[in-house]
Amino acid sequence: MRHSASVIAILLAFVGSAHAQSSFDCVIDPSETLKLGSPITGILAEVLVKRGDIVKRGQPVAVLESSVEAATVRLNQARADSTARIDAQTERLKLAQARLDRNAQLFERKIVSQDKYEELRAEARVAEQDLLREKQEQQLARLELERSDSILKQRTILATIDGVVSEKKLSAGEFISQEGYVMTLARLDPLNVEVYLPVAYFNQIRVGMVANISPAAPITETYPATVTVVDRVFDPASGTFGVRLSLPNPDNQLPGGQRCKVAFPLETAQGR
């Protein structure tokens, strides 16, 4: 009986060594970090967020001074909405057409001369063309409104990703150039886990493999992450290759920029 127990213990030790959870040092980083700038230069009128704030894609985060652009939009809006010139020209066309219709019968009865009748026809055609021109002018006014509205919208800086404000670079009243930026945004969902493994494990790591991530203290939980990148170029100096994992982080509970341990379900590497 004692002999059987010893055999079982040896077998379990063998299996455990052949399929051990190999653990390696890693780093948890934001999956994306970007410096948020502006397509145009100007003075910042207001910065709507501060460092540490969570932002959503499309959310306004800063506004440039835009009083002139706003006034231009209001002016173009009034021009685009106005129908006074079209209404006036419509009435002129109705009057010219009515005069032409009345004189058409007189012309047939030889009471009105051909020159007079041709003059009335010309007046009606001119009135029709004037009405068409006014309609085209209003269409151009609408296009100019769209253009000025687009220029105004450019003066509102929007968040381009879901994330957190990791740095606030400029404040209200400061000038932003095309080379500068207002703030830095970091995407925390998902997080990237970066790890370097000995080349002996290269054939065992596959995209889609799941590993366990243990962040450094004070976090005590373990989280599953999925391999998304396996470098195809080794680092000959260290004899390692890079692996990236994607770590879901709903509600941004885990911070980026921390050390961790990653455990892969690997067989014992040969030549370690």
The 3-state secondary structure of the chain, one letter per residue: CHHHHHHHHHHHHHHHHHCCEEEEEEEEEEEEEEEECCCCCEEEEEECCCCCCEECCCCEEEEECCHHHHHHHHHHHHHHHCCHHHHHHHHHHHHHHHHHHHHHHHHHCCCCCHHHHHHHHHHHHHHHHHHHHHHHHHHHHHHHHHHHHHHHHCCEEECCCCEEEEEECCCCCCEECCCCCCEEEEEEEEEEEEEEEEHHHHHHCCCCCEEEEEECCCCCCCEEEEEEEECCCCECCCCEEEEEEEECCHHHCCCCCEEEEEEEECCCCCCC
Domain ranges for the chain: 20-64+167-265, 67-152
Q: Given a cut of 90, is residue 50 above it in pLDDT?
A: yes
Q: Could you report the per-residue pLDDT of 74-109, keeping only the tens digit for each?
A: 999 999 998 898 889 889 988 888 887 777 776 677
The structure's pTM equals 0.74
Q: What was the pLDDT predicted at 142?
A: 94
- Residue 1: pLDDT band with limits 50, 70, 90: very low
Q: Could you report the per-residue pLDDT of 20-47, keeping only the tens digit for each?
A: 557 999 999 999 999 999 999 999 999 9
What architecture is domain 20-64+167-265? Beta Barrel (2.40)
